[in-house]
């Protein structure tokens, strides 16, 4: 009786029935479980790669923001004195004007010399703080550095050259505080018939040299 029970299909030891799925279909079920686990692992790896990529992008963007903020802070610190320097330049202009007026009289010569010493000291302090005059006289006109207030007809300079500085310009580091006010050279206008007169004079001179 016991032998018959143990030999029954699907029976385990002691005649107990095996759990469903552990019979003939067991290996197939195990393969399905492995494939499911592998698919889940692949999906998690893709998600991890995406998360790593997003983290790298966020880190790069954060670094860019940090650098932009650092540059902005450096620019603000570098050019913080600009409004103050602009106001000081008006005082320097007054010193130069007073010096020019003092030079026009014999009594003001000594006073003019004193004003010049003060103006020179003033410019020295400005240079110490990176506020430098813009080079203008004899330079090609540059609209970024110079403000043209008129033209000057001359043969002494190439056309488009700064021939006179009416007001000195200044820069703070590489930023223009105010442009230099200048006159720009141009070719003098030729009077009407000047070329014809020259030709006539040359012809007359030739005629005088011919033997009679």
Please enumerate in sequence order all residues whose Cβ is within 8 A of that of 122, keeping only pairs 6 or more positions apart, or say none.
Answer: 88, 91, 92, 95
pLDDT tens over the chain, length 212 residues: 445 445 544 444 455 554 554 444 566 666 678 888 888 888 899 999 999 999 999 999 999 999 999 999 988 888 888 898 999 999 999 998 888 888 887 777 788 888 899 999 999 999 999 999 999 999 999 999 999 999 999 989 999 999 999 999 999 999 999 999 999 999 988 765 554 555 545 444 545 544 44
CATH number of the domain located at residue range(s) 130-189 in this protein: 2.30.22.10
Residue 25: its pLDDT value, please?
52
pLDDT of residue 202: 46
What pLDDT is attached to residue 135? 93
Listed in order, strand segments (DSSP E) in the chain are 131-133, 146-153, 162-167, 170-172, 175-178, 180-186
3-state secondary structure of 182: strand
| pLDDT value of residue 106 | 75
- Specify burial of residue 33 (Cβ count, 10 A radius: 0-12, 13-18, 19+): exposed
**Alpha-carbon span 19 to 39, nearest angstrom:** 27
What is the structure's pLDDT at 39? 86
Torsion 47-51-56-58 (CA) sign: positive
Q: Are 175 and 207 in contact (CB under 8 A)?
A: no
Residues in the chain: 212
Q: Using DSSP bridges, classify how beta strands 131-133 and 146-153 pair: parallel, antiparallel or unpaired.
A: unpaired
């Amino acid at each position: 009786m016991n032998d018959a029970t143990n030999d029954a299909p699907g029976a385990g030891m002691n005649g107990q029935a095996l759990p469903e799925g552990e019979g003939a279909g067991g290996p197939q079920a195990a393969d399905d479980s492995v494939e499911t686990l592998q698919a889940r692992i692949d999906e998690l790896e893709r998600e991890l790669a995406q998360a790593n990529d997003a983290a790298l992008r966020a880190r790069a963007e954060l670094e860019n923001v940090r650098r932009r903020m650092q540059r902005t802070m450096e620019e603000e610190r570098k050019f913080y004195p600009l409004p103050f320097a602009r106001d000081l330049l008006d005082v320097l202009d007054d010193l130069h004007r007073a010096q020019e007026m003092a030079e026009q009289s014999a009594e003001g010569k000594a006073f003019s010399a004193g004003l010049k010493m003060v103006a020179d000291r003033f410019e020295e302090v400005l240079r110490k703080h990176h506020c430098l005059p813009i080079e203008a006289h004899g330079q090609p006109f540059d609209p970024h550095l110079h403000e043209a207030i008129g033209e000057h007809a001359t043969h002494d300079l190439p056309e488009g050259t700064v021939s006179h500085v009416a007001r000195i310009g200044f820069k703070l580091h590489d930023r223009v505080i105010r442009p230099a006010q200048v006159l720009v050279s141009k070719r003098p206008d030729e009077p009407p018939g000047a070329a014809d007169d020259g030709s006539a004079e040359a012809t007359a001179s030739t005629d005088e040299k011919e033997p009679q």
